[in-house]
Structure 1
Amino acid sequence: MDCIEFLGTGGTRTPTQGTTCLRVSNHCVIDAGNLINTFGDDVFTIEHIFLTHSHLDHIIDIPFLADLFVTQKKVSLKIYGLKSTLDDLRQFIFNHRVWPNFEEITLIGHTEKTIELIELELETPCTVDDVTLTPFKTNHTEGSCGYIIEKNGAGIMFTADTYRCDRVWELLNERPNIHTLVTEVSFPSEFAKLAYDSKHLTPAILADELNKCKRDDFAISVMHLKALFVAPIIDELNAMKLLRNRGKVLVDGDRIQYSH
């Protein structure tokens, strides 16, 4: 693949939009908010899922994937994340109460388990296919992270859900090969208290955060808009001229090229 495909971009699941899910290579995705509906019969090509955190809108299709894979696959579905995120999957999802523990259930006719949970270290690169993903800490949950996604020397930064986070801007300043920032804006600026409590951005907060960045040569695209507030958020983004360098509000099916 020569691009990242955004399979789910919504801050809320609706009949026409899925939640966070990015396909970064033929066999690898970030988050699992809209896998089964978008992959269809090709769902069995998924071999690697990198998680940003354990909120439901980012993991929702993983239990159903495991249920499909157990009778059909020859190798484990590899799920990557920071320790707190993986601990949440074990404690709250794959616990034989909410869902069977597919970390213990063997693929039918094979020796490997259905899923394998793989712990990531912050800012340690991991390469899958021909794409390198480097997790960095964000300000959303205890185990939340974003990823710098690189191919052939070009980089795209995906913050996923986050509130104010100095490391985002430090990395952008340090890495001139990052040509696009994909971040979130969940609420209109009038909901600043709600954004703080839930650790999300508004247009005004994003504009203030941008003052920490010394560069202005990268594109900014946003996603994760809450469905009830799409129009006012877009109005604010345009008024503040935040979607710079041909950035946009992403919708399901959009793509961003690795090459700049």
Structure 2
Amino acid sequence: MDTIKFLGTGGTRTPTQGTTCLHVSEHCVIDAGNLINTFGSTIFTIEHIFLTHSHLDHIIDIPFLADLFVTQKKVSLKIYGLKATLDDLRQCIFNDRIWPNFKEITLIGHTDKTIELIELELELPYHVDGVTLTPFKTDHTEGSCGYIIEKNGSGVLFTADTYRCDRIWELLDERPYLHTLITEVSFPSAFAKLASNSKHLTPSLLADELKKCNRDNFSLYIMHLKALFMGTILEELAVLELLRNGGKVLVDGDQIHYKIP
């Protein structure tokens, strides 16, 4: 794959839009907000899921994947995340109350467990299918992170859900090969208190955050708009001229190419 494909981009699930899910290599996705509906019969090619955090819109398809995989796969589905995120999966999902504990259920006819939870270390690179994913801490939940996504010397910075976060702008300044920033805007600027309480960005907050960066030669893409406020957010983004260097508001099915130096 020479592209990152956005399988889900919404801040809310609607009849026409899924929630956060990025297909970054043949066997690997970031988040699981819209996997089953987009992959169909090819879903069994997925072997690695890197999570940004444990909110429902980012993990919703994982329990159903485990249910599918237990009779069809030969090796475990590997799920990566920071400790707090994986603890949420252990305690709140795969606990034999909300869903069967597929961490302990063996794949039918094989010896591996159905899923394997792998704890990430911040700022340490992980390699899958020629793509490198490096998690960095964000300000959303205790276990939230974004990812530097790299291939062949080309890099994209994906924040996922976040509030104000200095590390985003430090990484862009430190790593000039990062040609694209993909971040979120969930609410209109009039909902600044709600954004603060839920740790999300508004157009005004993002405009203020951008001032922390010492370069502007990267494309800016935005996702995770709450469907009820999409029109207002789009108007604010246009007025503030935030979608720089060919960036856009992403919709399901959009792709971004890895730029080869």
Any idea what SS the aligned residue of 1:147 has? Answer: strand
Task: Tell me whether 1:142 sits opposite 2:142 in the alignment.
Answer: yes
Task: Tell me whether 1:78 sits opposite 2:117 in the alignment.
Answer: no
In the TM superposition, structure 1's runs of 4+ consecutive aligned residues that sit over 3 Å from their partners are none
Distance 2:189 2:159 in 1: 19
TM-superposed CA distance for 1:222, in Å, is: 0.2
Q: Which residue pairs with 1:155 in the alignment?
A: 155
| Alignment gaps of 5+ in structure 2 | none
TM-superposed CA distance for 1:246, in Å, is: 0.4
Distance 1:46 1:39 in 2: 9
Q: CA RMSD in A?
A: 0.4
| Alignment gaps of 5+ in structure 1 | none
Task: Tell me whether 1:92 sits opposite 2:95 in the alignment.
Answer: no
TM-superposed CA distance for 1:119, in Å, is: 0.4
Cα offsets for 1:129-173 (capped at 9, x unmatched) = 110000000000000000000000000000000000000000000
- What amino acid is the match of 2:259? S
Q: Which residue pairs with 1:181 in the alignment?
A: 181
Q: Which residue pairs with 2:22 in the alignment?
A: 22
TM-superposed CA distance for 1:259, in Å, is: 1.0
1:92-131 alignment runs, 5 A limit = 92-131=92-131
Any idea what SS the aligned residue of 1:17 has? Answer: coil
Q: Which residue pairs with 1:206 in the alignment?
A: 206
Cα offsets for 1:86-143 (capped at 9, x unmatched) = 0000000000000000000000000000000000000000000110000000000000
TM-superposed CA distance for 1:44, in Å, is: 0.3
- What amino acid is the match of 1:51? L
Cα offsets for 1:43-71 (capped at 9, x unmatched) = 00000000000000000000000000000
TM-score (norm 2): 0.99
Distance 1:195 1:258 in 2: 31
Matched positions, count: 260
- What amino acid is the match of 1:176? P
Any idea what SS the aligned residue of 1:155 has? Answer: strand
Distance 1:258 1:166 in 2: 25
Q: Which residue pairs with 2:239 in the alignment?
A: 239
